[in-house]
Amino acid sequence: MSRPGPLTDYEKYIRTEELLALQKPAAELTCHDELQFQIVHQVAELWMKLTEHEVLFAGERMRAGDAPRALRGLGRVKAIQTLLMDQLMLLDTMAPKDYMTIRNALGRGSGQESPGFKRMLQIPDEVWPSFEALLAARKVTLRQIYEQPDAQAELFNVAEALLDFDQNLQGWRQRHLMLVYRQIGAGTPSLKGKASELLAEGLKHRFFPKLWEVRDELFGEWTKTHPYGAEKGYHG
Ligand code: HEM
């Protein structure tokens, strides 16, 4: 579609011409809902690009000993992850029949090939050594900050912000799985086996295992000293 006159500063800066040319033209859509499907995925890739930018920056700040700035960056990551999760509700408004039509156009394409999500799976391992370096610089162990969260408030808050990132990655996976059930059912085979089983497998993963293990350690010791714990365990 041609537009009148030269590009405005807004159009030049946001690069609206290129951006709005990245979706299928109306005449090529396989069904009405395909535009939404394409836009939700494109926006998700942009949010994941920003997430990577922020998490890696938080890692750099941790290495520099700047916990408050790392924390501010991770706060932004949490906000982006909320948007990533919430935007999945748009696809709840799609009829399964429309998804089938779109699926034909997707060919063998799969969300597993998402470059943004592949990075989400990698960056926890990349940022964890930076957090360990911060602990080492402050001469504190992970166990100590969980034993005395108020005495080590800054480090405790960074640890919990990393745990939020982990929890929200898995929260997104759970929400996406509900979307999959809603659109294609629980039993439909995907390109690589039963989709629901494949996706449920990913939910078992812990991105920052040490942040989960430290909870086991704390409660393990508490259980040993608790009057009922030694016999029955906490929930016995
Ligand atoms: C109608 C909506 C959707 C359906 C029915 C759907 C379906 C599926 C299915 C069946 C899989 C399993 C692998 C495969 O067979 O390809 C999958 C994986 C995946 N999809 Fe979707 N999807 C939808 C929307 C989205 C959206 C909006 C995103 C956003 C980026 C997305 C990203 C992914 C990712 C990252 C995976 C891999 C997940 C993992 O490894 O845990 N999907 N999807």
Each residue of 145-180: pLDDT tens digit? 999 999 999 999 999 999 999 999 999 999 999 999
Task: Select from 80, 85, 99 the least CA-distant residue to 180.
Answer: 99
Of 101, 12, 83, 96, give the one whose Cα is nearest residue 43.
Answer: 83
Residue 233 pLDDT more than 70? no
Q: Evaluate: CB of 44 within 6 angstroms of ligand 1.
A: yes
| Length of the chain (residues) | 236
- Whether ligand 1 lies within 6 angstroms of the CB of 184 is answered as yes
- In ligand 1, the atom with minimum distance to the C-alpha of 103 is 5
pLDDT for the residue numbered 104 = 87
Using the mean position of ligand 1's atoms as its centre, give its distance from the Cα of residue 110 in Å.
7
Ligand 1 binding pocket includes 196 (Cβ within 6 Å): no
Q: How confident is the model at residue 113 (pLDDT cuts 50, 70, 90)?
A: very high
Structure tokens at 83: 């948007």
- Reported as a single tens digit per residue, the pLDDT across 46-69 is 999 999 999 999 999 999 999 999
- Compute how many other C-beta atoms are within 10 angstroms of the C-beta atom of residue 215: 11
Where along the chain do its domains lie?
31-212
99: confidence class by pLDDT, cuts 50, 70, 90: very high
Question: 0.95 cut: is pTM over it?
Answer: no
Which CATH topology does 31-212 take? Methane Monooxygenase Hydroxylase; Chain G, domain 1 (1.20.58)
E-state strands within 47-128: none
Note every long-range contact of 206-215, with CB atoms under 8 Å and residues 24 or more positions apart, other chains counting.
206/166, 207/124, 207/165, 207/166, 207/169, 207/170, 208/124, 208/128, 208/162, 208/163, 208/165, 208/166, 210/128, 210/142, 211/142, 211/159, 211/162, 211/163, 211/166, 212/163, 214/142, 214/143, 214/146, 215/146
Which ligand 1 atom is the nearest neighbour of the CA of 110?
Answer: 16
